Amino acid sequence: MPLTIRSANRAHRFTVEVARSPQQQQTGLMFRRSLGPNEGMIFPYPAPQELAFWMKNTLIPLDMIFIRSDGTIARISTAKPLDLTPMPSGEPVSAVLELRGGRAAELGIREGDTVSWTG
């Protein structure tokens, strides 16, 4: 599914998988050995809530982008492979986007930028 992040003066386009079911959300990007520079996974939730993600069985570093219900980025955390330390959203969010680790910094994506997708 296409996803766009609008930062200061640029739109960054990604193709993401959607983790809709509880099983898909539990598995996420576990056991993957690679992730393309413009690929990721979005975890949508029906109502805003405080969330925490960790990296159990996740073999690659990931940027976790916590998204408010208005589409703005609340927080960006970079997680290390296999780290069981919870990465909290810090506030209620409606979705979490996972990208290849360090990709947000490479593109200049920051808190307050806007994320949009359909589906």
Q: What pLDDT score was predicted for residue 9?
A: 79
Ranges in the chain, pLDDT < 70: 119
Q: What pLDDT score was predicted for residue 105?
A: 96
Q: Helix, strand or coil for residue 61?
A: coil
Q: What pLDDT score was predicted for residue 119?
A: 65
Q: What is the pTM of this model?
A: 0.96
Q: What pLDDT score was predicted for residue 8?
A: 86
Q: According to DSSP H, which parts of the chain are helical?
A: 22-27, 103-107
Q: What pLDDT score was predicted for residue 59?
A: 97
What domain range is 11 assigned to?
2-117
pLDDT in tens, 83-117: 999 999 999 999 999 999 999 999 999 999 999 99
- Is 63 buried (19+), middle (13-18) or exposed (0-12) by CB count in 10 A? buried
Number of structural domains the chain divides into: 1
What's 80's domain CATH number?
2.60.120.1140
Q: What pLDDT score was predicted for residue 100?
A: 97
Q: Cα dist. 114→32, 43, 54, 56, 108 in Å? A: 27, 16, 24, 28, 13
- Are 98 and 78 contacting, i.e. CB atoms less than 8 angstroms apart? no
Q: What pLDDT score was predicted for residue 47?
A: 96
Rounded-to-integer distance, Cα 48 and Cα 71, Å: 11
